[in-house]
C-alpha cells in the first residue's frame, strides 16, 4: 500500500507541477497579435492552473497523510484529531471540488469559444472576470466545507467519522452523489459533446471562426480530461 501510494504521490506531484508551469506560461498575455485569440486560451489556462494547484494541494496533504495512516495502520488520537481528521477532510473536499469546478468552467469556456453564435461568444469573460470567478469558487467551497471541521471526529477505533447523523446524510447525497457524481457527469457530458460538435464544424470550415490550432488542441485535451472525470465520477453515483 505504501509503495503504490508513494508512486501515486511522486508522479502526481510531478505531473501537477509540470501542469502549473505550462498553464502559468499560457496565462501570460501575448502582445504579438490583437486578434490571435490568446486571451481566450488564457481564460481556460487560468481555470486549469487553478485546478492543477488544487490537485497538488490534495496530493501534498490529504493523500500523503492517507498513505501514511493506511500504510502504517495508524489510529488517530484526540491529540492530533484536528490535523489528521478535521483539517484533512476539509482540505480534501474543498480543493477537490475547486479542481472539479474549474475543469467544468474550462469546458464551458471552450464551448463558448468554439460556438458559431456571436451572442454566445460575447459571454466569454475577460481575464479579470475569470480571476474573479476563480476567487469566488475558492471562497464558495471554502465556506461550504466548514461543517466538515465542525462535525468530523474520531471514533473509539481511531478512525475519522461524521458525528452528526443529519450532516452525514448531506455529506453522502450532496457531496458524494451530486457534487462529485451527477452534476459533473451531466455538465461535462453536455458541454463536452457540444464542444466536440463545434470543433468538427470548425475543422471542416478551415478555421473560419479564427480559432487557432493551439486553441483546438487545448479543447481536445479538455475533452479527454472531461471523459476521464466522467468515468471516474460514475462510482460516486452507484
Find, among 38, 16, 17, the residue nearest to 28 by Cα: 38
pLDDT at 215 over 70: no
| Three-class SS state of 14 | helix
Domain that holds residue 6: 2-237
- DSSP 8-state secondary structure symbol assigned to residue 29: P
33 pLDDT band, cuts 50/70/90, is very low
Region 1-11: mean pLDDT is 82
All three cell numbers of 1:
500500500
Q: Which residues pair with 154 in a beta bridge?
A: 160
CATH classification of the domain holding 99: 1.20.1070.10
Region 69-88: mean pLDDT is 83
What are the residue ranges of helices labelled H in 115-212?
Answer: 118-121, 127-144, 146-151, 165-170, 183-204
Which residue in the block uniquely carries the three cell numbers 453515483? 237
What's the mean pLDDT when you consider all of the chain? 82
Interatomic CA distance for residues 160 and 144, integer angstroms:
19
Half-sphere exposure of 123 toward its Cβ, with a 13 Å CA cutoff?
13
- The answer to whether residues 106 and 134 touch, using CB atoms and an 8 Å cutoff, is no
**Which region, left, alpha or beta, applies to residue 74 given φ > 0 means left and ψ of -120 to 50 means alpha?**
beta
4 pLDDT band, cuts 50/70/90, is confident
pLDDT at 236 over 70: no
Percent of the chain with pLDDT over 70: 83
Count of domains forming the chain: 1
212 pLDDT band, cuts 50/70/90, is low
Find, among 159, 163, 180, 186, the residue nearest to 75 by Cα: 159
Region 162-180: mean pLDDT is 90
| Residue range 114-125, pLDDT digits in tens | 777 888 878 888
pLDDT at 207 over 60: no
Interatomic CA distance for residues 48 and 20, integer angstroms:
8
Interatomic CA distance for residues 115 and 201, integer angstroms:
10
More confident residue, 193 or 205: 193
What per-residue confidence (pLDDT) applies to 34? 41
pLDDT at 65 over 50: yes
DSSP 72-93: TTPPP-GGGHIIIIIHHHHHHH
| Residue range 123-145, pLDDT digits in tens | 888 888 999 999 999 999 999 99
Find, among 72, 56, 71, the residue nearest to 9 by Cα: 56
Which residue in the block uniquely carries the three cell numbers 471514533? 155
pLDDT at 64 over 90: no
pLDDT at 41 over 60: no
What per-residue confidence (pLDDT) applies to 156? 83
| Most confident range, picked from 27-31, 75-79, 99-103 | 99-103
Residues 6+ apart with CB under 8 A from 102: 47, 48, 50, 51, 54, 134, 137
What are the residue ranges of helices labelled H in 1-116?
Answer: 2-27, 38-58, 64-71, 81, 87-114
pLDDT at 226 over 60: yes
pLDDT at 150 over 90: yes
Percent of the chain with pLDDT over 90: 33
37 pLDDT band, cuts 50/70/90, is very low
Amino acid at each position: 500500500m505504501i509503495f503504490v501510494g508513494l508512486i501515486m504521490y511522486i508522479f502526481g506531484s510531478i505531473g501537477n507541477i509540470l501542469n502549473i508551469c505550462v498553464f502559468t506560461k499560457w496565462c501570460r498575455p501575448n502582445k504579438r497579435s490583437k486578434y490571435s485569440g490568446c486571451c481566450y486560451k488564457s481564460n481556460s489556462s487560468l481555470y486549469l492552473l487553478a485546478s492543477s494547484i488544487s490537485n497538488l494541494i490534495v496530493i501534498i496533504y490529504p493523500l500523503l497523510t492517507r498513505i501514511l495512516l493506511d500504510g502504517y495502520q495508524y489510529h488517530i488520537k484526540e491529540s492530533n484529531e484536528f490535523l489528521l481528521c478535521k483539517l484533512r477532510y476539509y482540505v480534501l473536499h474543498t480543493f477537490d471540488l475547486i479542481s472539479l469546478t474549474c475543469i467544468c468552467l474550462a469546458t464551458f469556456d471552450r464551448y463558448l469559444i468554439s460556438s458559431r453564435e456571436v451572442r454566445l461568444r460575447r459571454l466569454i469573460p475577460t481575464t479579470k472576470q475569470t480571476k474573479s470567478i476563480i476567487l469566488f469558487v475558492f471562497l464558495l467551497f471554502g465556506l461550504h466545507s466548514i461543517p466538515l471541521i465542525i462535525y468530523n471526529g474520531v471514533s473509539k477505533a481511531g478512525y475519522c467519522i461524521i458525528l452528526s447523523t443529519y450532516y452525514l446524510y448531506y455529506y453522502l447525497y450532496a457531496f458524494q452523489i451530486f457534487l462529485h457524481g451527477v452534476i459533473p457527469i451531466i455538465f461535462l457530458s453536455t458541454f463536452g459533446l457540444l464542444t466536440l460538435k463545434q470543433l468538427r464544424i470548425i475543422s471542416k470550415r478551415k478555421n473560419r471562426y479564427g480559432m487557432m490550432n493551439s486553441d483546438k488542441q487545448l479543447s481536445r485535451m479538455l475533452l479527454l480530461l472531461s471523459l476521464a472525470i466522467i468515468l471516474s465520477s460514475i462510482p460516486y453515483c452507484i
